[in-house]
Amino acid sequence: MTQGFRAPAQPATARGFRHPGRVISGAFLTAVLIGTALLSLPLATPGPERAPFLTALFHATSAVCVTGLVTVDTGTYWSGFGQGVILALIQVGGLGIMTLATLVALLLSRRLGLRARLIAQAETKSLSGSDVRRVIGRVVLFSLACEAVAAAVLTTRFALGYDEPLPDALYSGVFHAVSAFNNAGFGLRPDNLMGWVGDPWVSLTIAAAVIIGGLGFPVVFELLRSWRRPRTWTVLTRITVVVTAVLLVVGTVGYLLAEWRNPRTLGPLSAVDSVMAAFVAGTMPRTAGFNNLDISALQPETLFLTDALMFIGGGSAGTAGGIKVTTFGLLAYVLWAELRGDVDVEVGRRRVPPTNQRQALAVALLSIGVIAVATFLMEAMTDFSFEQVLFETISAFSTVGLSTGITPALPPGAQLLVVLLMFVGRIGPLTLASGLALRDRARRYQLPEERTIVG
């Protein structure tokens, strides 16, 4: 009797990497390992000694995950080669490993397979898989254009306003522009942006790059197409724009009210400079990581506000981290619908499906759980206050990069915990969980319904 044809079994590696989430996680991990190896070379430091493995790993992860937390000063500890590696890792991490990989595949083969298309769709958060090629091209071109504009403004300001030689001004302008647009927060000065707190050309240019990079590519493209027709905006764009605007106002007003009389932050500044500094400071937790004010000198209420802003983060498919403004905004709409007794959750003239609501809830709860466990562990490892430890864990998980100054003093175990937090925060709890899952299971039946008491 003739047996039917049986397809050869795929290797375990191929089966394990069929899911886009797994491929993205693996790609980011590969970038971290490559960056660690490069930063461990003697060429990466100006002195004859190599950087310790943990230092190289920490900074490679922070760069790839566009976080900005550092244990050593970027401008003095690393050589030109080391700073170039960090800058390249920031660019790769910001655009997304799979976006770059898919673009290279397009240039070489001029065609996309279904698997590559799905991977690119998962990384760019494109809602349609049919135009992934066009989306990737726009992402890269738009990113480079924004970085070029910001670099031109910063270079001109550094050269003319601070009498820096043109090569130094150009290097500093490009470095800060790439770091700002990718929401990385790496700077070349020990005080980060504090020396430019009253300079609108530097502060507002970096803030603008942070906001644009943090909106997310799908939102930016839609705004460019139909910014005059808000009624035609998708749910993603509507929630992102509204929540972003609200959080920018809340951050600015919160910093002004809490720090207006603080002699170590806004107190010595003029009224105009205080408003500008508060706006920039309120923007950075979204999740850029630049600091124009001394974080360790902030009032407790300001630190709490910053915790909340860091946790929320920026837009989906952008360079920002956190649970994302779409998650936060969608949960707010869910709460509003529940309070009103509405069966459906509606945003504008659209109904949000229950799957999106569950995803938002899962992301928020997973994030809270990760931060809670990490805070507990770090409290056990260090002698720092709960306020400082919570700030550090939220900043790492949300890939922000702000710190009260305790990062260099963390013991090795706590630094490794921060590395893990940055990686998990960049990939995303939901993406990481789906990447580790063996397969999606579809249930062909439903159990009887039974209501329970809530609250």
List, as one string, the DSSP characters of 265-285. Answer: TTTTS-HHHHHHHHHHHHHGG
**361 in any annotated domain:** yes
Position 12 scores a pLDDT of: 44
**450 in any annotated domain:** no
Residues in the chain: 455
**1 in any annotated domain:** no
Position 11 scores a pLDDT of: 45
Angle between helical axes of 80-95 and 53-64 (0-180°, round to 10): 40
What is the extent of the structural domain holding 55?
18-432
- Rounded distance, CA 287 to CA 277, Å? 16
**5 in any annotated domain:** no
Residue-wise pLDDT for 101-156, tens only, equals: 444 444 444 445 555 555 555 555 554 455 566 767 778 888 999 999 999 999 99
Q: Give me the tens of pLDDT residue by residue for the chain, a chain 455 residues long.
A: 444 444 444 444 444 445 556 677 888 899 999 999 999 999 999 988 899 999 999 999 999 999 999 999 999 999 999 999 999 999 998 887 656 544 444 444 444 555 555 555 555 555 445 556 676 777 888 899 999 999 999 999 999 999 999 999 999 999 999 999 999 999 999 999 999 999 999 999 999 999 999 887 778 888 888 888 888 888 888 999 999 999 999 999 999 999 999 999 999 999 999 999 999 999 999 888 899 999 999 999 999 999 999 999 988 777 888 998 988 999 999 999 988 888 888 887 788 888 778 888 888 999 999 999 999 999 999 999 999 999 999 999 999 999 999 999 999 999 999 999 999 998 876 565 555 444 455 667 777 877 777 77
**406 in any annotated domain:** yes
Position 13 scores a pLDDT of: 41
Domain count, the chain: 1
**290 in any annotated domain:** yes
- Rounded distance, CA 272 to CA 209, Å? 21
**448 in any annotated domain:** no
**439 in any annotated domain:** no
Position 384 scores a pLDDT of: 95
Position 360 scores a pLDDT of: 85
Residue 436's closest CA among 19, 92, 74? 19
